[in-house]
Amino acid sequence: MTTVEGSLNILWQNYPQPAAAPRYRLLFTRYVSPKGGAAQSRQAVGEDRLRSYLVGIDLTAQDAKCWIEQVHEKHTVTIPRVYMPDREIAAYE
């Protein structure tokens, strides 16, 4: 499996609405970009979906839990040195 190294920014978009299902905006930024321009983002709705996504891109379940806790504390977090699988890259281009 081929991967691309970069950072993953997670923003909790609707944190002021505690009764609503959490919506997270995900933005992957390559460390070395083959082209310029704005990067695309994707969305995850619900903590379970975010956890599943993070584990699906090869973070450990424990690491995913820690990053989600940080998102809930700070409303945003940047995960450095993420090795994004090629199968996920198209969603960010």
The DSSP output letter for 65 is: H
Distance CA 11, CA 73 (A): 11
Beta bridge partners of 26: 10, 42
Q: By the 8 A CB rule, do 8 and 82 touch?
A: yes
Q: By the 8 A CB rule, do 3 and 54 touch?
A: no
Statement: residue 88 has pLDDT above 70? yes
- Read off the pLDDT of residues 56-73 as tens digits, 9 standing for 90 and up: 999 999 999 999 999 999
- Read off the pLDDT of residues 42-54 as tens digits, 9 standing for 90 and up: 999 999 999 999 9
Statement: residue 37 has pLDDT above 70? no
What is the number of alpha carbons within 13 Å of residue 56 lying toward its C-beta? 11
Statement: residue 34 has pLDDT above 70? no
